Chains A and B, each alone.
Chain A
Amino acid sequence: MVAADLLVAQNVGFGIISLLMVVSALRVVTVNNVVHAALWLVVVLSGAAAQYLLLSAEFVAITQVLVYVGAVMVLFLFGTMLTRARIGAESDLNNKNWALGIPVALLMLGVMTYVIIDGFGSERLIENPGDMEPIPVQVISDDIFGPYLLPFWALSFVLLVAVIGAIVLARKD
């Protein structure tokens, strides 16, 4: 592998963002404060948006920021505040046998890591990195409203049902 092919800037960027994401993700599942966890989650989601940019998926990255970091996080904070008046550290956020999760997660990680390295090894994501151009929104829309129209309809239906369901569930009566 020649050094020039390595795309130093992108790889360094990837490394930094990944590190940030992993650390934040670990904080999400370990901190004792729901609001803090939500804020760490914001970091992970923003990092994911940055990774999408590295993968030249601009539209998805923007959607990620708008929908996830914007709407979903606000929803989470609302949920937290509506269910817990107290905002602060709590002692019992974990299960009694929370340790069960560690071996399971490590086992899955081991299997997946082996499979990925065995399957892809040192394969390049793309032969000629210069070819990586941002995907125009028009192409994506052609894809959505062309071959994947049916899933789109189904999805619209799911969203409608979710809206109605959320109203029915959360309504006071």
Chain B
Amino acid sequence: MLAQEMTSEVVASSGWFLEHAWVIPIIPAVAFVLIIFFGKKLPMKGSELGVFSMLASLVFAGGAAWQWIQRVNSVVDVAHEAVAEGAHHAAPFVAPVIQEWTWWQSGGFHFGIGQHIDGLALTLLVVVAFISSLVQIYSLEYLRGDRRYTHFFAALTLFSAGMLCMVLAPNMVQLILGWEIMGLCSFMLIGHWWEEEANSRAALKAFFTVRVGDMGLLIGTAILFFSANSWTQENLGVSGFNISGLSAWAMSGEASSSALTWGAVALFIACIGKSGQFPLHTWLPDAMAGPTPVSSLLHSSTMVVAGVFLVARVYPVFWEGMKIGDTNINFIVLIGGITIVIAALLAFVQHDIKKVLAYSTVSQLGYMMMGLGAGAWLPAVFHIFTHAFFKACLFLSAGSVSHSGSHHSFDMKKDMGGLAKKMPITATTWIISTLALAGVFPLAGFFSKDEIIDNVGYGGYNAFMIVGLSGAFLTAAYMTRATYLTFFGKARGAAAGEHHDEHDAHADAHDSHDAHAAHDAHDSHDAHGADHGPHESPKLITVPLMILAALALVAGLSNATPFGESWERFKKYVEPSAEYVAIESHMATGPGEAIIVPQQNTTAEGGESKYDEGCAVVAPEAGMACYFPTVKHAPFKWSKAALSLIIVAFGLISSWMFCVQYYTRRNKRLVGLTERSKVLRGGYTFLWNKYYLDALYEKVIVRSIAHPIAAAAAWVNQNILDGIVNGVGKVSRRVAGWVYRNIDQRVVDGAVNGSGAAARGTGGALRPVQSGKVNQYGALLFAAAAIGALILVIINT
């Protein structure tokens, strides 16, 4: 009790950056407008505005993160004193900094806009601002001389604004706003070189596929709003869109479980679309048609994690809705697990270096989803953090290779090989990131991916732990293959200096001369470089690479579980507390302060057995609320880590040996194996055609929806209407024939004329239905409405 009195007096520290975090997305949004209107007149064609705005956002996000750390410390230190007195062990509740203003209202509904700053939001804010800054700097060189240079930077800046807006959304409406801005910008950026038809098709495919999922977002938000609104209004004084309100509602034990389940399923469908999960992952590899910086920013480290972020953001809804707490297989973990394996397998048969990375991204997103689905919240979020660095680095390295090494080709088999000597910096950063991605100790991927696998197993999902381990093996193997093909072995095609024929043939193959011109403009700057063959990229490209590679080396240390609790800083500052919180202390008081910063409050007398009680297990009493479920954390064991390290090492070495044998020595037993063995050939064809999912979507599903509507209309016309008319005619003609043959010719004329008249009469009677006359359609409409109403009246009385 003493501890409670003490802690209730603690006022969590705050700060200017924390209170004004909403400025972060405003900066790039303003920059976007400026670039669009004035960009072309500026000395650097508007790119300086983009870079500057992202750097400013980064500074603000960094400041906010620093103050958040102060804030957590200010609460935790007091709590530690309490721990010393033996009061409780659970992490104390650090209130998020929430501010919300009315954006617009309609009827009785108020839609807010503002900020919801906690560890998760800040992690993403810093990552997004950081990666965006580096990518924009990289693009200064990569897109130099591009014909839509200014527009590219405008779209990139708006994209960052959308992502930042989504990340700090305090309610679902703002989240949807940011989500959709990102969708629009990804369309613009993937189709940046839209003169080539393949690019615009890829842009459309990405847009439509994601939109299929977006329906889920709208439906899920609506379901949750209508079931949560009255509870949140009554208990917290916020609307049912509010994210912390939704979390508290989901954990309150008073929520309808079917509403939670269906809301969670609908929201997860949106995540499947956005985060490229099976079976809607097909758009992501195609999206590689965009410029490489776009792939690096959107389709590896920021936009595609939006789905993962959404699950992490309203985690209590998924936790309760999907019953993550018990160890039954749920929707999220299942989709995540499937995605890991199928995407990793696909990465083996790609020739395009960026597509290998794209499938790798899909597979890694599968890890994050699987982690979230199995209750491993923190490792999944940590994996977002580390993955952003090394995957962005890999993509930018691939861009660097194509920019300076392979003459704008991304084909590993044709135009690369042996580049390690010619591009040492690019090769080094690539290899560091590859090892980080594979999860080699002590690089970033080890600490996050291994934690996911470990926690999935600890959470009781043993089958999925095996999936995770095999995924780790596959990751190591396909990345080794890509590394070998790109940087080692014999130089081929453009990498060996024979570029122009290849490129021209390639460009001429497309009808669009504009595209060719665009690429020529794009190429002009390194005409001399092309003459000299592959060379290292300029500083604007290599410096971001080095920064990212350095982070890929050390980022994992920010939550190095193996080294003890004092190394788990990420956990301390990011993971929300599963404490019961008194509601009264932070009821709404007015606009701009939807939830005021509450006092830190703890009542749980948690002992050692903290997983047996707490928010996930026992619903909060009246007047208390939970904002996060009690998640388990697997204790680190070197034996388990050693197992996965051995698997990874096995993947790296076996794949390396295979590559040497296959690609360089052309080992007779291996080369052509897919032609000789039926099983292998079948498997290869199956993979090469991407499990036939595209064919399924385009040929079967689209056709089965678009075709039947047309076909049904035609069929009704042909068979029913015409059929009736013709049938009547035929029958009458037969009758006429029968009459003609049987009753001789005495009544022939009369009978034939009669049957003809019958046929014409029937046809004429049915014909007006399809007259094309507005009045008759209107009559049918109103009559149908009246009859419908009549039926309703009869049913209801």
Q: Which residues from chain A sit less than 8 Å from chain B, CB to CB?
A: 95, 97, 100-101, 103-105, 107-108, 111-112, 114-115, 118, 146-151
Contact = CB atoms under 8 A, between A and B. Distances in A.
Interface stretch (B402-410, B517-525, B660-668, B782-790): B782-790
Contacts of A111: 786, 789-790, 793
Contacts of A150: 104-106
A115 B779 contact: no
Contact of A107 (B105, B108, B776, B786): B786
A16 B104 CA distance: 45
Interface residues of B, number: 19
B43 interface: no
Contacts of B797: 118
B609 interface: no
Given A108-B786, A146-B105, A148-B106, 11 more contacts: A103-B783, A104-B783, A107-B790, A111-B786, A111-B789, A111-B790, A111-B793, A118-B797, A147-B105, A147-B108, A150-B105
A108 B785 contact: yes
A108 B782 CA distance: 8
Contacts of A100: 775-776, 779
A49 B785 CA distance: 29
Contacts of B790: 107, 111
Contacts of A147: 105-108
A146 B779 CA distance: 40
Most chain B CB inside 10 Å of its own CB: which residue of A104, A114, A149 = A104
Nearest to A114: B793
Contacts of B793: 111, 114-115, 118
Interface of B: 104-108, 768, 773, 775-776, 779, 782-783, 785-787, 789-790, 793, 797
Nearest to B107: A147
Nearest to A153: B104
A39 B112 CA distance: 50
Most chain B CB inside 10 Å of its own CB: which residue of A100, A103, A146 = A100
B775 A149 contact: no
Contacts of A115: 789, 793
A70 B81 CA distance: 80
Nearest to B787: A107
10 contacts: A100-B779, A103-B783, A104-B782, A105-B782, A107-B783, A108-B785, A112-B789, A115-B789, A146-B105, A147-B107
Most chain B CB inside 10 Å of its own CB: which residue of A95, A105, A107, A111 = A111
A107 B793 CA distance: 13
A146 B793 CA distance: 37
Nearest to A152: B106
Contacts of B783: 103-104, 107
B interface SS class: helix
Contacts of B105: 146-147, 149-150
Nearest 5 pairs of A and B residues by beta carbon: A150-B106, A108-B786, A107-B786, A104-B783, A100-B779
A112 B793 CA distance: 10
Given A104-B786, A114-B793, A97 B776 contact: yes
Nearest to B783: A104
Contacts of B104: 149-150
A5 B163 CA distance: 64
A95 B768 CA distance: 13
A114 B786 CA distance: 12
A152 B659 CA distance: 67
Contacts of B779: 100-101, 104
Contacts of A114: 793
Contacts of A101: 775, 779
A151 B104 CA distance: 11
Contacts of A151: 106
B769 to A, nearest CB: 12
Contacts of B787: 107
A146 B109 CA distance: 11
A101 B779 CA distance: 7
Contact of B106 (A112, A118, A149): A149
B771 to A, nearest CB: 10
B401 to A, nearest CB: 50
A108 B788 CA distance: 10
A101 B793 CA distance: 22
Most chain A CB inside 10 Å of its own CB: which residue of B105, B782, B783, B786 = B786
Nearest to B775: A95
A8 to B, nearest CB: 34
Contacts of B773: 95
Nearest to A112: B789
B519 to A, nearest CB: 40
Contacts of B786: 104, 107-108, 111
Contacts of A95: 773, 775
A97 B776 CA distance: 9
A111 to B, nearest CB: 5
A13 B779 CA distance: 34
A150 B787 CA distance: 35
Contact of A148 (B107, B775, B789): B107
Contacts of A107: 783, 786-787, 790
Nearest to A101: B779
A147 B783 CA distance: 36
Nearest to A109: B786
A124 B269 CA distance: 50
A162 to B, nearest CB: 21
Nearest to A105: B782
A146 B768 CA distance: 50
A71 to B, nearest CB: 26
Contacts of A97: 768, 775-776
Contacts of B106: 147-151
A104 B779 CA distance: 7
A100 B773 CA distance: 13
A100 to B, nearest CB: 5
A90 B775 CA distance: 19
B767 to A, nearest CB: 13
A109 B768 CA distance: 25
A97 B779 CA distance: 11
A112 B786 CA distance: 9
Contacts of B768: 97
A115 B104 CA distance: 37
Nearest to B106: A150
